[in-house]
Amino acid sequence: MNLPHLMSLASHLASHGFFCLRFTCKGLNIVHRIKAYKSVLNYLKTSGEYKLAGVFLGELVGESGTENASSP
């Protein structure tokens, strides 16, 4: 999703030392997306080049503009 506000947020976070990983694949391909995230996280954890202080996995607001019903 290359929405201006998401690109701006990712750019701001990256410029302040946060590693931002974004995928643009649709929700229909969720299995592939999960495998890709898992591969990247495993690489970052095992790499001596990067130190992860924590991991945050977020989701976008749905297409209808409402939040996921399972969100607190």
Tens of pLDDT, residue by residue, the chain (72 residues): 678 888 888 889 888 888 887 766 666 777 888 888 889 888 888 888 877 777 776 655 454 444 444 444
Check if the beta carbon of residue 43 is closer than 8 Å to that of residue 50: no
**Could you give the maximum distance between any two Cα atoms of the chain, in Å?**
42
Query: Residue with structure tokens 């410029």?
Result: 15
Residue type (1 letter), 65: G
Note the pLDDT of residue 68.
Answer: 42
Note the pLDDT of residue 26.
Answer: 65
Note the pLDDT of residue 14.
Answer: 85
Note the pLDDT of residue 1.
Answer: 60
Spell out the long-range contacts of 38-47 with Cβ–Cβ below 8 A and sequence spacing 24 or more.
44/19
Note the pLDDT of residue 63.
Answer: 45
